[in-house]
Chains A and B, each alone.
Chain A
């Protein structure tokens, strides 16, 4: 732990710059695709985005139903033929109705994608706005009632209504 708050400002940031470099290098090395992914891993990755037609709510990757097995076999065939993931998914989507586990980005399905993103953006924008307003407003000053409350609390007496709970107690 760094216990020297008195070091020169510039020197204090040196470890952080160093850390940023290390992190960037590690992520750059780590972002290369894994070299040990087998054909089966790829088939399963594709199958896990596709519904098993015969079962409810399961993906073709996890189901043992014959239709799921058939879909996996079809994916394996196409993987061996060298088709890309999207090509295979496109083929399946064309062959079966409503087979993909992800909703489409158009139509009603678009709401599921767009709404959370819009909500988060708006919430953080609202928060930023609130902070600006709080920053702009002058800090609240203590009223005589507040000072009275503090004085009584300090002398050990309990305030009658410390937290604005009303008189229901």
Chain B
């Protein structure tokens, strides 16, 4: 029953999306604008189809309907409730189903947001593009990724999801976050396509989609950080980022999306870089598809690739189609995209954004090349080429340091042109902050040029961000935290935290493997680790746990564990971590005692500042939320409304008496508050 209802939902979604395409196409090409208003029922039906399909799948999982192939393959009567719900995204078919649900949600949200402008061709083409993407993903579920296959003879029980996917609660939140980010980039992509098709390649569509892009970006950031946290807490090797292809696949769209969020400001302010911005958006969307292809087709070896299937060629084909269509559209509209302006000086805000974009593009190129090139080589001449972690670390380190430097300098740069004196004055105390951090790090015993540069430049960048926030709050009070520029500075602080934590934890970690008898201690990087004893726990029907009881220093007992799930042949380790703001003590159980009272083999890793990675992720999300709030509301599509609003002296800047003082910020302040270059829709 569940399978039949779910299949009906998928068919409903597919047919409604196709119907939506036909309706919009008739309205746009037949010149009957009225038809465009009829789109709402189609959107509702697509959303309904997705909800019905997901509900049917969850019902099947919760009621343990083993007549469904997906439940029989990935469900189990012993899986705890939380992981049972999360089983939806623990394998390929369910992941595509989740993707379709999120996509349908975005489609509905866009329709609701633009309900008064549905007969606008720009909105029409954007919805058409989104329907087309819906058709593809619902089509996948009708074809090779059908989640609602049934089995002839229902088994009594299933194996449950991969053991690694059911022993940490982060598994319940990380994939949905990631998908909200991944799929969210469909919205700006759809508007980019619409702008190209309608020829309205001006700035209107950018403003329309700014928030959507930011929303998707924030969720993608959160998803990536949570994924890193999950692998740290679960995989047991003490790291959180291994430049694994699956990680790279999520990181690539993040890189191009981040580049876009910066360069779009140049286009809003100066009308330049149109082709570049469109390319970045299209690349971001295409990379989400390519990433799905890489991770879901089984084409790569990876510790995370839990699934293989025949949908590879379809995803690759869709990727090729996206690239082909967008490149064709950009080429076709080339004449309208030519930028009218010019950049006066490399020593300007827009100059620094250009450099930022080059570095992000180079970063993405390194990651893409390192991930895909071995495949290409193997496909061409059969040679196996290994591109591993050391390559990525070595190549991305200078780019990362250069980006930190830009993060420090760019916020102080005015638009158009800066004199050396202005720059020297504005950068002075951020630079001293960086110097202070550097000296402090050396005094505390940090060694090595690369990590020290990361700390110093991180301090510099943090100083620049704090300076901007201090100036803004002085002018505008609490509103100084809001808006894109100031929220963006909070995001910068989060990125600096992550960069510093990454540099510290990967440069100054200490690892020991030790065989310990009960009562025996080992000293690692100033921490005393004492093995107390061993126990086996069979009380949980879902798994057998064997735990080592280990005391770390004098403040608590930690239990690194080995878990065996009834149907999983492989025993998996679950590390135990004592986290603090200074350092983490990471304990993994390698070998249980051979006989009662015998020695265990433990891996102990002490790494500094790891917790700041997760804190930094939280700061990024918080800053993104602040950046999404406008300082004051204006009509987004009318660029001149901003000028009028400022002229009426309603802006908080003008009302504050202090703002009249000619301070050193004058040159970078235009007629309106700088944190809102153009209003938002």
Q: Which residues in A have some Cβ–Cβ distance to B below 8 Å?
A: 1-3, 5, 9, 12-13, 15-16, 19, 22-23, 26-27, 29-36, 38, 40-41, 44, 48-49, 51, 55-59, 62-64, 98, 100-103, 108-109, 111-113, 115-116, 119-120, 123-124, 127-128, 130-131, 134-135, 137, 139-140, 153-154, 156, 158-159, 162-166, 168-169
List B contacts of A154 (CB < 8 A).
643
Indicate whether A41 sits within 8 Å of B510 (C-beta atoms), given known contacts A57-B303, A112-B370, A123-B362: yes
Q: Tell me which residues from 167 to 205 in chain B have a Cβ below 8 Å from any Cβ of chain A.
A: 198-204
A19 touches B389 (CB 8 A): no
Is B512 a contact of A40 with CB atoms below 8 Å?
A: yes
Quick check: is B649 within 8 A (CB to CB) of the other chain? no
Query: B424: which A residues are within 8 A, CB to CB?
Result: 12-13, 16
Contact A101 B301 (CB under 8 A): no
Measured as residues with beta carbon below 8 angstroms from the partner, the interface class of chain B is: 35 or more
In the complex, how many residue pairs between chain A and chain B have their CB atoms under 8 Å apart?
A: 206
- Give chain A residues whose Cβ lies under 8 Å from the Cβ of B512: 40
CA distance A101 to B366 in the complex (A): 15
Docked pose: A109 CA to B358 CA in angstroms? 23
Q: Pick the contact of B302 from A51, A56, A137 — CB < 8 Å?
A: A56
B411 at interface, CB cutoff 8 A? no
Selected contact of A109 from candidates B121, B245, B385, B441, CB within 8 Å: B385
B105 shortest CB reach to chain A, Å: 28
Q: Are the CB atoms of A124 and B639 closer together than 8 Å?
A: no
Per-residue 0/1 for B137-176: is the Cβ within 8 Å of any A Cβ (1 yes, 0 no)?
A: 0000000000000000000000000000000000000000
On whether the beta carbons of B385 and A108 are closer than 8 Å, the reply is yes
| Residues 247-284 (chain B) with a chain A CB within 8 angstroms | 271
- Decide if A29 touches B431 in the complex (CB within 8 Å): no
Which of B200, B345, B391 is in CB contact (< 8 Å) with A112? Answer: B391
Complex CA gap A127/B200 in Å reads 27
Pairwise interchain contact B303-A56, C-beta atoms closer than 8 A: yes
A134 lies within 8 A of B344 (CB): yes
Segment from B57-65, B69-77, B448-456, B475-483 that makes contact with A: B448-456
Q: Chain A's nearest CB lies how many Å from the CB of B192? A: 14
B361 contacts partner chain A, Cβ-Cβ < 8 Å: yes
Q: Which of A31, A32, A100 is within 8 Å of B386, CB to CB?
A: A100
- When chains A and B are docked, how far (Å) is the Cα of A19 from the Cα of B201? 47
Say whether A112 contacts B373, CB under 8 Å: yes
Q: Determine if B428 and A162 form an interchain contact, defined as CB atoms under 8 angstroms apart.
A: no
Q: Give me the interface of B with A, judged by CB distance under 8 Å.
A: 120-122, 198-204, 237-239, 242, 244-245, 271, 301-303, 336, 340-346, 351, 354-355, 358-359, 361-362, 365-366, 369-370, 373, 377, 381, 383-391, 394-395, 421, 424-425, 428-429, 431-432, 435, 438-439, 441-442, 445-449, 452-453, 456, 467, 508, 510-513, 573, 590, 638-641, 643-644, 664
Contact among B120, B336, B345, B641 with A164 in the assembled complex (CB-CB below 8 Å):
B336
CA separation between A82 and B538, bound complex, in Å?
48
The docked-state distance in angstroms from the alpha carbon of A116 to that of B336 is 31
Q: Is the CB of B385 within 8 A of A123?
A: no
**A27: which of B198, B432, B449 is its contact (CB, 8 Å)?**
B449
- Of B362, B389, B394, which one neighbours A48 at CB under 8 angstroms? B389
18 more contacts with CB within 8 A, not counting A15-B428, A64-B573, A123-B362, are A22-B435, A22-B439, A33-B447, A35-B447, A57-B242, A101-B386, A112-B369, A123-B358, A131-B351, A134-B342, A134-B343, A140-B342, A154-B643, A162-B202, A163-B202, A168-B122, A168-B199, A169-B120
Given contacts A26-B438, A153-B643, contact A5 B664 (CB under 8 A): yes
**B387 / chain A contacts, CB cutoff of 8 Å:** 101-103, 109, 112
